[in-house]
Amino acid sequence: MARVLDETVQAAVRRAAAVLFVSRHTVVLAGAGMSKESGIPTFRGEGGLWTTQGEPPLNQYDTFTADPRRWWQRRIEDARAGSAFGDSIEAAQPNAGHRALAELEDMGCLAHVITQNIDDLHRRAGQRSLTEIHGNRLWMRCVRCGTRWPREEFPVDEAALPPRCAAPGCTGIVKGDTVMFGEPIPPLALARCEAETAQADCFMTVGTSAVVYPAAAFPIEAARRGVPLIEVNPEETPLTPIADIVVRAPSGEALPVIVAAVRTLQAASHGEGSR
Ligand code: APR
């Protein structure tokens, strides 16, 4: 049974629902906090992977480009060794927060989700209008032409590392689709995020510490245009001071309540000509 949200949070939920209900193009930026209630640890914040283990090297992509074969050998060794984080992602299921965002899209109140998560949980929850700005762990990508394949459709021959692109005329190196620190965001994904942000008349961040760019720039750009900014996060972030509405609660609890409140507004307006 979900914890009863306290009065302050319930008031913020009502205000958030009222803005989402009247908005015509809401965009969400989702972060690792979305998947905390699916059993995947966050990176930062309380109990985060890097809060407890320290930050990873920020030159991962340079390491890859310097010696892609060695990078692939290490990736295969690490995969064989396994990790608690890897196990948590493998076992994860979409939670009520993922399902709430997919429902909000079905209700016509959410135009696009930009997720920083690579865990595929938004897609599995039914989100259709979605950009995975940091890639998807289940896919592979050519770093030269950008062609992507589901992992199972791109078997890797350990005797022929690094794997090469199978697109006609391209011999680019293929890596996991997940974007590494220092790696450029794939141009099509970045262009989509910029286009959706430019159209946004409401922006909601969910479960992100908003410290990684370019992702964190999108809510800031929207707020700078005067677009209402809603933050759903149990902790403060650098965006809190510019947020119009702060829902200080876990997303798995807050989002279903926000969606229920929007649905109530839709039902109430039904007799007066629906949205
Ligand atoms: N519901 C919502 N938010 C939560 C929850 C929860 N149940 N639990 C924690 N949070 C919040 C934390 O307060 C924190 O602000 O989720 C946020 C997680 O922040 P990060 O771990 O920094 O995750 P994220 O913002 O997605 O990181 C961005 O950095 O490490 C890179 O590529 C990685 O995509 C990642 C990017």
Distance 116 CA to ligand 1 centre (A): 9
Identify the domain containing residue 26 by its residue range: 7-44+94-134+185-273
We report the CATH number of the domain holding residue 17 as 3.40.50.1220
Beta bridge partners of 204: 28, 230
Structure tokens at 162: 């690094």
Cβ(219) – ligand 1 distance below 6 Å = no
Nearest to 200 by CA among 174, 230, 160, 177: 230
Q: Which atom of ligand 1 is nearest to the CA of 215?
A: 28
pLDDT band at residue 113 using 50, 70 and 90 as cut-offs: very high
CB of 136 within 6 A of ligand 1: the answer is: no
Strand order through the sheet with 26-30: 130-132, 112-115, 26-30, 202-206, 229-232, 245-247
List b or e across 259-272, with b for residues whose CB sees 16 or more CB atoms inside 10 angstroms: bebbbebbeeeeee
Of all protein residues, the one whose alpha carbon is nearest to atom 8 of ligand 1 is: 33
Greatest C-alpha distance within the chain:
67
Determine if ligand 1 sits within 6 Å of the CB of residue 98.
no
* pTM of the full structure: 0.96
Q: Give a yes or no: residue 221 inside a domain.
A: yes
**AA identity, residue 116:** Q
Residues 6+ apart with CB under 8 A from 151: 138, 139, 140, 176
- Measured in Å, residue 31 CA sits from the centre of ligand 1 at 5
Per residue in 249-264, pLDDT tens? Answer: 999 999 999 999 999 9
In a domain, 112, yes or no: yes
Q: 247: Cβ below 6 Å to ligand 1? A: no
Q: Which amino acid residue places its CA nearest to atom 5 of ligand 1?
A: 33
% of the chain at pLDDT higher than 70: 97
Q: How many domains does the chain have?
A: 1
CB distance 36 to ligand 1 below 6 Å? yes
Identify each DSSP E strand in the chain by its residue range: 26-30, 112-115, 130-132, 139-142, 148-150, 174-176, 202-206, 229-232, 245-247
Q: Is 35 among the domain residues?
A: yes
Report which residue type is found at 59: N
Of all residues in the chain, what percent carry a pLDDT higher than 90? 89
**CA-CA distances (angstroms) from residue 15 to 108, 155, 209, 246?**
18, 49, 22, 9
Q: Is the pLDDT of residue 61 over 50?
A: yes
Is there a catalytic annotation at residue 134? yes
pLDDT band at 53 (very low <50, low <70, confident <90, very high): confident
pLDDT the model gives residue 273? 53
Q: Choose which residue among 44, 51, 178, 193 to substitute to test ligand 1 binding: the one with the highest number of ligand atoms within 8 A of its C-beta.
A: 44
Q: pLDDT tens-digit profile of 168-209? A: 999 999 999 999 999 999 999 999 999 999 999 999 999 999
For the chain, the average pLDDT equals 95
Q: Report the separation in Å between the CA atom of 81 and the middle of ligand 1, taken as the mean of its atom positions.
A: 26
The protein residue with its alpha carbon nearest to ligand 1, atom 25, reads: 208
Q: Give counts: helices (H), strands (E), the chain.
A: 10, 9
Asked whether 31 lines ligand 1 (CB < 6 A), one says yes
Give the per-residue pLDDT at 55. Answer: 87
Q: Which of 25, 98, 134, 270 is catalytic?
A: 134
Q: Is the CB of 207 under 6 A from ligand 1?
A: yes
**Closest to 10 measured CA to CA, from 251, 252, 248:** 248
- Is position 253 within any domain? yes
The atom number, within ligand 1, closest to the CA of 251 reads 1
- Write the pLDDT tens digit of every residue in 216-239: 999 999 999 999 999 999 999 999
Let me know: does 93 contact 38? Beta carbons within 8 Å: yes
Give tens-digit pLDDT for 119-176.
999 999 999 999 999 999 999 999 999 999 999 999 899 999 999 999 999 999 999 9
CB-based burial label for 27 (10 Å; 0-12, 13-18, 19+): buried
203 lies in some domain: yes
Predicted confidence at residue 7, as pLDDT, reads: 85
* Domain assignment of residue 244, yes or no: yes
Residue 2 pLDDT more than 80?
Answer: no
Find the mean pLDDT for residues 79-83: 92
Residue 55 lies in a domain: no
Burial class of residue 109 (count of CB atoms within 10 Å of its CB; 0-12, 13-18, 19+): buried
- Pair of tokens at residue 235: 């902790």
Q: Looking at the domain assignment, is residue 16 inside a domain? A: yes
